[in-house]
Amino acid sequence: MPIGINPPLIYHTLEAHFTKGTALSHILISILLLVTLGCNSPLSSSLKQAKVSERESELLASRSKTSTSAKDEKKIPAKEKEQDKTAAPVVITNSNKSDSVVQEEILVAVNSHIITRKSFQQAFEQQNASLYRQFSGKTLDEKLSEARAKTLQGLIDAFLLADKANEMGLSIPDDYVESNIEQIKKENKIASDEEFERALKANLGIGLSEYRKNQKRMMLEQQVLGREVYSKMAVTENEVRAYYEQNKDEYRLPERFRIRELVLPRGTTPEEKSKSSTLLLDIEKQIRDKKSFESLVRMHSVSPTKDLGGDAGWMNKGMLRPSIEEAALALNKGDISPVIETARDYYFVQLIDREITPYQPFAEVKDKLIVKVQEPKAESAIEQFMNNLRTRANIRYMIPKEQLIKG
C-alpha cells in the first residue's frame, strides 16, 4: 500500500543530493538562496521589492523583442534560447531616500525577474567563501567556475519555482511561518526575537522581517516540489521495510552495557594509603573465594551506587572512562575485572549484561526510510521537472553565460 509524503522531509532529500554534488545541487541552491538573499525581482509587483522605472522596463522590453515574439520564443529549445538571447549589458538605476543613485548591471532576466551582478556576487560569496581556503591555483579556478555555474542556475531555478508556486495559487499562512521560526529559536535556545535578529544579522546579514519572507518562499518551494514531484512518487510499506532490513546497520544504536562497580579511595596520607591497600588485598581475596560481589560493594564501596549494590544501570559505549570501559567490555557476563587503578581510586567492575546489536525500531525511523527509498527516484524526477520549467521560461542572458561562469 502506498505511503503518503511528508512535505517537511523534501528539503532533507534535496540536501542529501546537494552534498553528493549531483545535478540537484542547483535546486537546493535555489532554496538556500531564497533563505539567505530573497528574490531580486524588481519587475514583479507581486513581490513588492525594488521597483524598476518605466525607462528600465523599456530597456528590458526592447531586449525581449530582438528576434522573436514571446509566443514564438516558447517554441525555441532551451539551449538555443540561451545562446541566442545574449544581449548587451543592461543597467538599472535605483534612487534611495537620500537621492543617491545606485546603478546595477543586469546579468540575466528570468521571466519577469532579473538577476543583477550584485545579487549574483552576493549569492556566490555566501555559498562559496570556503573554496578560497581549501584550494589554490588551477584547482581553485576550476572549483570557482563550477560554483559560479551552480550559483547562477540556483538563482534562475529559484525564480522558476517561485513563478510555479504563483501559477498554482499556493500560499503559506503567516502563523505556519511563525511556528517554524519559534521551533528554530527553541532548538537554538534563543529566548527573544531581538536575540534571534542579532543572530540572523551576524550569520546571514538579514533581519527578522526579511527572514520571515524568505522562510515563506522556501516553504512555497517545498510545496511545489511536494505536489508536482513527490506526490507522484509514492512508495509502499514493503519497499520501506525491505530497505530497513537491507541497511539495518545504518540504524544501529550505540552498544549498551550494564556494570556493577566497587570503588575504593586510594587515600592521600600515608596512613590512608596503607589502610586502603590492606582492604584492597582483602577484597581481591574474597573475590577469588567467590564471595558475593554485590555484598562486597554494599560493605566497602564509596560510589553513589553503593546502596544499589553497585548497579550503574545501562550505559552507551563511550560514556565511561576508557580504562574502566575497556576492562568492562573485555569481560564475559558475570565476570569481575582485576583492580583498575586511577589517580584517586581503585575500581572493580562486574559485567551484568551487554547488548551488542541494538537497532532503532522501524517505527522510529520510518520517515527517514521513506526519504531514503525515494532518493533514487527523486533525483531524475526533480531534474526532469526543473528542465520542463526551464524550457518553458523566458531566460535571457545580458552577458554571455560562459563569461559569467568564467568570472
- Does one domain contain both 373 and 326? no
Strand, coil or helix: 47:
coil
Confidence of residue 231 (pLDDT cuts 50, 70, 90): confident
- Does one domain contain both 276 and 167? no
Look at residue 91 and tell me if it is in a domain.
yes
- Does one domain contain both 229 and 377? yes
- pLDDT above 60 (res 60): no
pLDDT of residue 407: 80
- Does one domain contain both 45 and 161? yes
Helix%, strand%, coil% for the chain, nearest 5: 55, 15, 30
- Does one domain contain both 35 and 121? yes
Task: Write b or e for each residue in 169-184: b if 16 or more Cβ atoms lie within 10 A of its Cβ, otherwise e.
Answer: ebebeeeebeebbeee
pLDDT of residue 328: 93
Q: What is the pLDDT of residues 16-43, one digit of tens each?
A: 333 334 444 444 444 444 444 443 433 3
What Rg do the C-alpha atoms of the chain give, in angstroms? 32
Look at residue 399 and tell me if it is in a domain.
yes
The CB density around residue 313, as the number of other CB atoms within 10 Å, is: 9
Question: What global pTM score does this model have?
Answer: 0.54
Look at residue 243 and tell me if it is in a domain.
no
Task: Decide which of 99 and 10 is more confident.
Answer: 99
Beta bridge pairs of residue 104 = 92
Domain boundary among 334, 355, 376: 355
Task: Decide which of 175 and 50 is more confident.
Answer: 175
DSSP line for 125-187:
HHHHTTHHHH--HHHHHHHHHHHHHHHHHHHHHHHHHHHHHHHTT----HHHHHHHHHHHHHH
The mean pLDDT value for 131-141 works out to: 91
- Does one domain contain both 294 and 387? no
Which ranges in 301-360 belong to alpha helices (H)? 322-329
Long-range contacts of 10-18 (CB under 8 A, 24+ apart): 10/222, 10/225, 10/226, 10/230, 11/218, 11/222, 12/371, 13/371, 13/374, 13/375, 13/378, 14/225, 14/382, 16/371, 16/375, 17/375, 17/378, 17/379
Give which of 35, 9, 1, 393 is closest to 226, Cα–Cα: 9
pLDDT of residue 92: 64
CATH number at residue 281: 3.10.50.40
- Does one domain contain both 159 and 30? yes
Cα separation, 109 vs 340, whole angstroms: 72
Confidence of residue 10 (pLDDT cuts 50, 70, 90): very low
- pLDDT above 70 (res 48): no
Look at residue 203 and tell me if it is in a domain.
yes
pLDDT of residue 93: 60
Contact 214, 328 (CB under 8 A): no
- Grid coordinates representing 200? 540572523
Confidence of residue 94 (pLDDT cuts 50, 70, 90): low
Bridge pairing between strands 101-110 and 256-265:
unpaired
Look at residue 242 and tell me if it is in a domain.
no
The mean pLDDT value for 307-324 works out to: 91
- Cβ neighbors of 181 (< 8 A, separation 6 or more) are 196, 211, 212, 215
CATH number at residue 111: 1.10.4030.10
Bridge pairing between strands 235-236 and 2-3:
antiparallel
Cα separation, 112 vs 156, whole angstroms: 12
Look at residue 46 and tell me if it is in a domain.
yes
Range of the domain at 232: 2-237+366-406
The mean pLDDT value for 228-255 works out to: 89
Strand, coil or helix: 110:
strand
pLDDT of residue 243: 94
pLDDT of residue 101: 56
The mean pLDDT value for 78-98 works out to: 52
Give which of 203, 219, 206 is closest to 161, Cα–Cα: 219
The mean pLDDT value for 355-370 works out to: 87
Look at residue 109 and tell me if it is in a domain.
yes
Confidence of residue 51 (pLDDT cuts 50, 70, 90): very low
pLDDT of residue 130: 84
Q: How much of the chain exceeds pLDDT 90, in percent?
A: 54
Cα separation, 173 vs 220, whole angstroms: 10
- Does one domain contain both 13 and 152? yes
Contact 312, 261 (CB under 8 A): yes
- Does one domain contain both 289 and 383? no
The CB density around residue 299, as the number of other CB atoms within 10 Å, is: 13
Name the range with the highest mean pLDDT among 93-107, 278-292, 370-384: 278-292
- Does one domain contain both 265 and 332? yes
Bridge pairing between strands 90-95 and 101-110:
antiparallel
Using the structure block, give the residue that is written with the C-alpha cell 514564438: 72
pLDDT of residue 392: 96
- Does one domain contain both 188 and 309? no
Q: What is the pLDDT of residues 322-352, one digit of tens each?
A: 999 999 999 999 999 999 999 899 999 999 9
- Does one domain contain both 298 and 163? no
pLDDT of residue 2: 52
- pLDDT above 50 (res 283): yes
Look at residue 248 and tell me if it is in a domain.
no
The mean pLDDT value for 46-62 works out to: 35
Strand, coil or helix: 45:
coil
Count the domains in the chain.
Answer: 2
Task: Decide which of 291 and 22 is more confident.
Answer: 291
